[in-house]
Amino acid sequence: MDSLVIAGKSFRSRLFIGTGKFASTSVMAAAIEASGTEMVTVALRRVDIQNPCDDMLSAIDRTRYQLLPNTSGARDAAEAVRLARLARAASGIHWVKLEVTPDPYYLLPDGTETLKAAETLVKEGFVVLPYIHADPVLAKRLQEVGCATVMPLASPIGSNQGMRTKDSIAIIIEQATVPVVVDAGLGAPSHAAEAMEMGADAVLVNTAIATAADPVRMAAAFKQAVEAGRLAYEAGLPPKSTTAQASSPLTGFLRNE
């Protein structure tokens, strides 16, 4: 299978993993390994002064997995930019998953603030992977300002509902000039396979793996689903038929030629 290229970097795995919601750091590490991923997201949070705990980052082997800091928690462009700069200062990584989610209930992304932040961050030399609703025009605008991918949601974060925004994602894929990573709401390996069969370049999964009864095996299942979906896409899925309804003949006039 061909490899995915984002901002000049090649990935053999088209499954990215989010590191939140795991019961423990060791389960997280085992699930990451089982998924075959090459990139994992991490967030930034204030240290709890009363209880400064150990560093989960040390559980992630940075020689095998690329870190992708996200700006989760940001409610506007200014906060997102600040978080991105902090992350870069802390890790030396200039890739960022741009997430601006002011609404605490559905955690849906604010497109206006995302675009603003993306413009600033691209100019500062970041490789920006923006998380958005499946809005095709917004996706084009983000590509225009120089984002390295677009990451439309399948359904709200943690909802596990699968590809609810399927038709819009299809348009985004059709019009994209950068890789499309379907992110958020993929609740089962079949959802991930569906996204890949449609032509998505990659998927990002967190909740479905972290909160599964057996996260390590679920990670392995997602790995297989992503590979199967991509293989099917490359093999060329047979078309589903549509029925036609004839009306009066339109090309009879050519018979005399």
Partner 1 sequence: MDEIRTILAQKNLDHDRQVWTEQMLRIRPEDVQRELSVPAGKYSFRRLLTLLSPAAEGFLEEMAQQAARLTVQRFGRTIQLYAPLYVSNVCVNSCRYCGYNRHTVFERTRLSIEEALADAEVIAEEGFRHLLLVSGEDRSFVTTVYLAELAARLRRRFSSLSVEIYPMTQEEYRTLFEAGIDGVTLYQETYDRAAYAYYHPAGPKQDYDRRLQAPDRFASAGMRRIGLGVLLGLTDWRLETLALAEHAAYLMKRYWRSQVSFSFPRLRPALGTPSDWPHLLSDRNLVQMMLALRLCFADAGIVLSTRERAQLRDHLVDLCVTSMSAGSKTNPGGYTGHDDTAEQFVVADTRTPAQIAQMIRSKGKDPVWKDWDAAFARSEVFS
Partner 2 sequence: MSWTLKINGTPQTFEPSEQPATLADLLKQLQMDKAAVVAEVDGQVVPREHFAQTVLRDGQSIELIRFVGGG
Figure out which of the listed residues 8, 89, 213, 236 binds partner 2, where binding follows CB under 8 A.
89
Q: Which of 172, 181, 176 is closest to 206 using CA atoms?
A: 181
What DSSP element (H or E) covers 210? Answer: helix 207-210
Sign (positive or negative) of CA dihedral 167, 169, 170, 174: positive
Shortest separation between residue 208's beta carbon and partner 2, angstroms: 11
d(CA 122, CA 101): 19
Residue 69 or 179 with smaller CB distance to partner 2:
69
Residues with Cβ within 8 Å of residue 165, at least 6 apart in sequence? 133, 134, 152, 153, 154, 155
CA distance 121 to 138: 17
**Residue 125 site contact among partner 1, partner 2, none (CB < 5 to 8 Å, cut-off depends on kind):** none
Question: Per-residue x/- mask for partner 1, residues 65 to 84, rule CB under 8 A?
Answer: --------------------
Helix (H) or strand (E) holding 132: strand 127-132
| Nearest-angstrom CA–CA distance, 40 and 119 | 24
How far apart are alpha carbons 67 and 148 in whole angstroms? 16
Instruction: Name the minimum Å distance from CB 236 to partner 2.
Output: 32
For this structure, is 97 an active site residue? yes
Residue that the structure tokens 């928690």 belong to = 73
Residue closer to partner 2 (CB basis): 226 or 233: 226
Which residues in the 42-61 window bind partner 2 by CB under 8 A? 42-47, 49, 52, 54-58
What span, in angstroms and rounded, lies between the C-alpha atoms of 6 and 142? 15
Nearer to partner 1, 5 or 90 (CB): 5
**What is the smallest separation between the CB atom of 99 and partner 1, expressed in angstroms?**
25
Residue position matching structure tokens 């399948």: 154
Catalytic residue among 9, 97, 123, 166: 97
Closest approach of partner 1 to the CB of residue 237, in Å = 11
89's tokens: 């200062």
Question: What x-and-dash track marks residues 111-150 binding partner 2 by CB under 8 A?
Answer: ----------------------------------------
Q: What are the beta bridge partners of residue 183?
A: 153, 204
Determine the interface stretch with partner 1 among 31-39, 119-127, 217-225, 249-257 (rule: CB under 8 A): 249-257
Which residues make up the interface to partner 1 (CB under 8 A)?
Answer: 140, 174-175, 177, 238-242, 244, 246-247, 249-251, 253-254, 257
Contact residues for partner 2 (CB under 8 A)? Answer: 18-22, 28, 41-47, 49, 52, 54-58, 67, 69-70, 72, 85-87, 89-91, 157, 183-184, 204, 206-207
